[in-house]
Amino acid sequence: MSGDIETLVGMGFSRVKVQKAWKAVKGAGLQPAMDWLLEHPEVTDEPEEGDSDKGNSLGASTTETTTAAAVPEDGEIKDGEQTAQSLICNDCQKLFRDATSAERHAIKTQHQNFSESIQVIKPLTEEEKKQKLAELKARLAEKRAKDSQTSVEDQKQAERLRRKAGQDMSSVKEELEAKEMKKVMEAKKREKELDRIAKANIKAKIEQDKLERQAKREAAKRSAAQETSSGAPTTTPAPAPASRPVKPEYNEARLQIRVPNGPPLTQTFPADAKLNDVYNHLKTNGFNGPFHLSTTFPRKTFGEADLEKTLKDLGLTPSSALALSHA
């Protein structure tokens, strides 16, 4: 036992790790201890409680065990009375010192057929120990290379995930910026349309005034020509007021109100409704802060004096475009 422990220490393992491995395999031998060390690379060099004392007394325990073995004990098996000395795998004919080793073999190979054997497992010779040491070093080197390759692959995978996350964030940001730009463009388009309608109304009113003035001038010319042809001095009658077209009476006012950061609100009110009713309607739709209403063209902002005036008196019938601005 002490020779196997020293062999493992000579392989480069710390004595604490070797003692832990020896304890874990219950002293099954060099090969099980090497297998355990390879399968548990995470084991630290920190001794467990009481292990230092056990390590110091390991040689003494071995000596005491040897001495005690020389004294016959009750129930001791004598020569010729030996029973099972090992376990054999009936699938591959391999021998194992104890059930722990056989169980480890079953896990690795999925072999299930085991039986007891009276064949004694011979201790390893120096040549076999050297061969086992070489195999162990090769397996250690292979495992370290595999772990290193796994670490490199993990780093590459993490880098790929990081880049993909960055690309996804960029795509989301670009999509949000495109949506915001689309909203701004639509708002500008609506504003231009409202301005176009207002300008068209003003232009129509100007053309109507021109026609009325031209009609007055033509009527005056005809009257002067008639007086000249008759030769009778007559008192030039005062020009009769030009007949203005009767302005139609509208019973409703359709208002399109442009609000900041949102689509315009369209609502129809009675012509005799007051401007204050429009303010109250906006407040019920979530515009609670102080704000003002104004026409877009010509520009006119309504104040507190206009709140009690009707939409008809303010010239907002039959339809008008308004803009809402915060005070």
User: CA angle, 102 as apex, 121 and 55 as ends, to 5°?
Assistant: 70
Domain ranges of the chain: 2-50+83-145, 252-326
- Sign for the CA dihedral angle at 90, 91, 92, 94 comes to negative
Asked if pLDDT for residue 63 goes beyond 80, the answer is: no
- The pLDDT score that the predictor gives to residue 273 is 92
- Rounded Cα gap, residues 206 and 182, in angstroms: 36
Of 37, 27, 42, 34, residue with least CA distance to 7: 34
pLDDT, mean of residues 7-14:
82
Asked if pLDDT for residue 16 goes beyond 50, the answer is: yes
Percentage of the chain beyond pLDDT 70 is: 81
Asked if pLDDT for residue 94 goes beyond 90, the answer is: no
296-318 confidence digits (pLDDT tens): 777 889 988 898 999 888 888 88
Element (H, E) at 16: helix 15-24
Structure confidence at residue 244 as a pLDDT band (50, 70, 90): low
Asked if pLDDT for residue 13 goes beyond 60, the answer is: yes
185-239 confidence digits (pLDDT tens): 999 998 888 888 988 889 898 988 889 999 999 898 888 888 777 655 555 555 5
Element (H, E) at 266: strand 265-270
Please give the residue that has the higher pLDDT: either 107 or 50: 107
Q: Per the confidence metrics, is the pTM higher than 0.85?
A: no
pLDDT, mean of residues 239-253:
68
- The pLDDT score that the predictor gives to residue 59 is 44
Strand partners, 87: 96, 116
Structure confidence at residue 69 as a pLDDT band (50, 70, 90): very low
112-153 confidence digits (pLDDT tens): 888 887 776 666 677 877 787 788 778 778 888 888 888 888
Structure confidence at residue 182 as a pLDDT band (50, 70, 90): very high
- The pLDDT score that the predictor gives to residue 161 is 93
Q: Mean pLDDT score of the chain, rounded to an integer?
A: 79
Are residues 84 and 90 in contact, defined by beta-carbon separation less than 8 angstroms?
A: no
What CATH class does 252-326 carry?
A: alpha beta
- The pLDDT score that the predictor gives to residue 70 is 42
Structure confidence at residue 268 as a pLDDT band (50, 70, 90): very high
- Rounded Cα gap, residues 142 and 175, in angstroms: 49
Are residues 322 and 255 in contact, defined by beta-carbon separation less than 8 angstroms?
A: yes
42-58 confidence digits (pLDDT tens): 888 777 665 554 444 44
* Tokens 């098996």, residue located: 77
Please give the residue that has the higher pLDDT: either 272 or 240: 272
CA 173 to mean position of chain CA atoms? 12
For the record, the structure tokens of 227 come out as 């007086």
CA distances 6 to 12, 16, 27, 129, Å, are 10, 12, 13, 11
pLDDT, mean of residues 28-34:
83
